[in-house]
Structure 1
Amino acid sequence: MKIPLIIALFIAELGAVGVGCNKDVEKPDNMNAHIQTTRVKVAVGSHVFEVILYDNPTSHSLIEQMPFTVELEDYAGKEKIFQPKQPLNKTGAPKGADPNVGDIMCYGPWGNIAIFYDEAGYANGLIPMGRINDVDGFVKALTASSSVTFKIDN
């Protein structure tokens, strides 16, 4: 009787991961499926870093504001933050999230964007938006300049 249960769980898992999605990547641990993404370039001086933004209303509303340049500030020795020019859409956002190093999240109550470069725990109000691939290089580049330009990767 264990085998049918295992097969049922396997089939359910296949349905949950969205087999056949276009441009899919795995969601962070706090989300349970594959999702569509948008590639974005983030420039710090002459250094350019790839960012992958998830397919959700919060990320879409940030993408609609691109290109833009902002000054990043350090927050709590764990994240680099900035306030977008326009408020972001938080429709369907989770109650909170558990960020990993490299995650880009919106902190809903304040409306700011956080790029995590150190471990942090679960927090109510965090909305997963994407990931930066080379967070160590990104933080190192920020030692020379805190001015960052976001643009869609065409």
Structure 2
Amino acid sequence: MSVQFGDNTVIYELNESTAADSLYEQLPLTLESEDFSTNEKIFYPPQELDTSDTPLAADGAGTLAYYAPWGDVVMFYGDYDENPSLFQLGQVVSGEELVEQMSGTITIEAVDAE
């Protein structure tokens, strides 16, 4: 999955969870990213993600996760505390250093696995 903003692109590899599939089925998306806390960027997909059979997030910086109570997808650029409502969607594979700079409108698209 690619996340584009300005001339920058961040690539995430989605896991094989139900929640990641729920997000993938909504692509492509164009929406606003937001700063949250001091370690993450977030966006809100139009539809809730199904978290059944989805592991809890625990991989640190570079994690793509879903915070179920608020319905937001989280792109971590710093470490975070584990949370029983935070589900792992995938991990960054390219452009991790760009996530902290992300702002404004983002375009999220499916990309073929290589």
1:100 paired with 2:72, answer: no
Aligned equivalents of 2:57, 2:90: Cα separation in 1: 12
Check the 8 A contact 1:99/1:121 in 2, yes or no: no
1:45 paired with 2:3, answer: no
Q: What secondary structure is seen at the aligned counterpart in 2 of 1:139?
A: helix
Aligned equivalents of 1:126, 1:42: Cα separation in 2: 20
Question: Residue in 2 aligned with 1:109?
Answer: 69
Check the 8 A contact 2:65/2:75 in 1, yes or no: yes
Unaligned ranges ≥5, structure 1: 1-39
Question: Residue in 2 aligned with 1:33?
Answer: none
Unaligned ranges ≥5, structure 2: none
1:80 paired with 2:37, answer: no
The percent of aligned pairs where both chains have the same amino acid is: 29
- The CA deviation at 1:91 is 1.2
Check the 8 A contact 1:99/1:122 in 2, yes or no: no
Question: Residue in 2 aligned with 1:27?
Answer: none
CA-to-aligned-CA distance 1:69-105 (integer Å, 9 cap, x gap): 11111111111011110111111234x4334101000
Higher helix share: 1
Question: Residue in 1 aligned with 2:15?
Answer: 54
Check the 8 A contact 1:44/1:138 in 2, yes or no: no
1:149 paired with 2:91, answer: no
| Letter matched to residue 87 of structure 2 | I
Question: Residue in 2 aligned with 1:10?
Answer: none
- TM-score where L is the length of structure 1: 0.66
Distance 1:99 1:110, change over 3 A: farther
- TM-score where L is the length of structure 2: 0.88
Aligned equivalents of 1:128, 1:59: Cα separation in 2: 8
* Corresponding residue pairs, total: 111
RMSD, matched Cα? 1.5
